[in-house]
Amino acid sequence: MTTRFAAEDSALWDTHWKSLRYFNLYRFVLAALLFVAAAGTPLQGAVFVAAVSKWHVALTGGYLLLTLLSVMSLHRVRRHFNIQLTAQVLLDVFVLTALMYAGGGLRSGFGWLLLVSLAGAGLVGQGRLVLFFAAVATLAVLVSEFFLALRNEFDSVGFFQAGLLSLGFFATAISGRLLARRVLANEELARQRGVALRNQMLVSQRVIEEMQDGILVVSQDALVRQHNPRAEALLGVSDGSASALAMYSPALADSFRAWQAGATAEPEPFRVAPSGLTLRARFVPTESSEHDVLVFLEDMGRVQQRAQQLKLAALGRLTANIAHEIRNPLSAISHAGELLLEELRGSAQERLLTIVRDNTQRLDRIVRDVLELGRRDRAHPEAIDLAQLLPLFREEFAVKEQIDPEVVSLDLGAGGVVCFDRSHLHQVLWNLMGNALRHSRRQAGSLTLRLRRGRGVAGVELHVVDDGAGVPDELREHVFEPFFTTHSRGTGLGLYIARELCEANGARLELLDNSPGAHFRITGGGCSECQ
């Protein structure tokens, strides 16, 4: 707070010093004119009386020298403002009164120059100091008239004119001061509004830069005038030098033309090839002179992800509250089914009991998977050597799924270390491999775990590939959605949980092009957090 007030006082004082500098420039010009007039006028035609006309050149020359020093000192010394102003005004009063006396009194016209000097002092000075200047000038003029009266005959008209001039001194000084206060108040108000406007612009600019939505300012001719950094990221524009909207995105340009034509339907989301994102545009007209249009770009993937997170959060709260109420009856039903299977029943009863057992296991697996989502933020990352982990995981997976270990092919490459929660990584691999096994041919080498050097945080990529039919194009955008499954006995949570656990550990799970079956890649999981 102290620094801010000091800055405001400094700005106010800058105004005073600048005014004083202009006032001194006027004094210097006046002194120069007086000196030139005094030096260039012959003695016979001088305006001064003969008794003093011999030293008026020296007086104006000294005045010129002192005003020059004042102008020069203001560029170096910015202290004792009132003292400098007082000294300069008193010098003006002394010199101009002396010249007025030398010129024979008020008829010489130098008294009017005193009015100008007092007006300038009123504009520059502060407080009651301007009244002091007017009082000093009044005394100087009256003393000058008194000495003229002693030297010549008494002139009552001269004293009357001196009195009127003195009243003019006070009126000029007070008027100048009031005008200066009004100017300073307006200048301070303009400065404060300028500061407020600048702060508002900086805040608005920062808000626009940090917005998650892209913003484009587009003219009626579909030319992009401005855009924020988020728009560049969403549209995949690297340099931002494009000016036509079609150069940013042809689909966006088509939507803009349709909106201009009066289309009332909401524009359809469109896919941007450079960034690989699906965006939705919203057009808002403005009241600018050019009638520019604001184009808001929203990442549909982020919207869908947020909706899914809200959905899973609500589901997580629900299952957390009723987990025991669901699992306890399931356990009782499962146990009763096992007991009934031990009794001698017909084939029809055995088939019905098998249906009951299978569905209770499926319900229990759904509850377990959903509860697993609540533990995604409880990550305890550690440095894991994949070259050692993957062979052990293959053996465990083969035993659990009752398959030949040769079904899973390992390609460890140069190996690699990732920073990952061990239980989370085990869950991710199990979900991916279980999904791959379900769609594979279950032959030797049908599943592949491949390690490659990449450009991720840890410089390691883990690929999971199967030899199945692959993921159809129309289903690729839905494979990570919760409860989406193409298997009659699946829960639809495996891939979603795998991606969530990867993100909780700073990694990324992606679905790549079929090669020839489904191809998933895990990147990231850097070891900086484990050090």
> Which residues, at least 6 apart from 337, have a Cβ–Cβ distance to it below 8 Å?
353, 356, 357, 360
Domain boundaries, the chain: 2-197, 212-301, 303-373, 382-530
Report, at the CATH architecture level, how domain 382-530 is classified: 2-Layer Sandwich (3.30)
Residues in the chain: 531
The dihedral of CA 197, 198, 203, 207: what is its sign? positive
Cβ(441)–Cβ(468) below 8 Å: yes
Which DSSP string do the residues of 63-102 spell out, in sequence order? HHHHHHHHHHHHTT----HHHHHHHHHHHHHHHHHHHHHH
Find, among 201, 184, 216, the residue nearest to 284 by Cα: 216
DSSP 405: G
Q: What span, in angstroms and rounded, lies between the C-alpha atoms of 313 and 310? A: 5
Specify the range with the lowest mean pLDDT, choosing from 2-6, 29-33, 452-456, 496-500: 2-6
- Cis? peptide before 391, omega within 30° of 0: no
Cβ(74)–Cβ(20) below 8 Å: yes
pLDDT band for position 30 (cuts 50, 70, 90): confident
How many CB atoms within 10 Å of residue 320?
12
How many CB atoms within 10 Å of residue 326?
14
Mean per-residue pLDDT, 11-40? 77
Mean per-residue pLDDT, 129-139? 82
pLDDT value of residue 429? 92
Q: Report helix, strand or coil for 421.
A: coil
pLDDT band for position 316 (cuts 50, 70, 90): low
pLDDT greater than 60 at residue 107: yes
The topology (CATH level 3) of 303-373 is: Helix Hairpins (1.10.287)
Residue 384's DSSP bridge partners are 418
Find, among 335, 352, 372, 313, the residue nearest to 494 by Cα: 372
Cβ(24)–Cβ(67) below 8 Å: yes
pLDDT value of residue 519? 92
At 415-439, the pLDDT tens digits run 788 888 888 888 899 989 988 898 8
Mean per-residue pLDDT, 282-304? 84
pLDDT band for position 2 (cuts 50, 70, 90): very low
At 472-493, the pLDDT tens digits run 888 888 888 877 777 666 667 7
Q: Quote the Cα angle for 29-114-32, to 5°.
A: 20
Find, among 358, 509, 486, the residue nearest to 429 by Cα: 509
> Which residues, at least 6 apart from 23, have a Cβ–Cβ distance to it below 8 Å?
88, 120, 121, 123, 124
How many CB atoms within 10 Å of residue 440?
23
Q: What span, in angstroms and rounded, lies between the C-alpha atoms of 463 and 449? A: 6
DSSP 277: E
- Cα 307 from chain centroid? 27
Tokens 């000029």, residue located = 172
CATH number of 212-301: 3.30.450.20, 3.30.260.10, 1.10.4080.10, 3.40.50.300?
3.30.450.20
Tokens 């839905």, residue located = 478
- Cα 486 from chain centroid? 45
- Helical ranges in 413-474 per DSSP H: 422-439
Specify the range with the lowest mean pLDDT, choosing from 134-143, 204-213, 285-294, 308-317: 308-317
Which helix (H) or strand (E) segment holds residue 160: the answer is helix 156-210
> Which residues, at least 6 apart from 340, have a Cβ–Cβ distance to it below 8 Å?
349, 353
pTM: 0.43
Cβ(260)–Cβ(281) below 8 Å: no
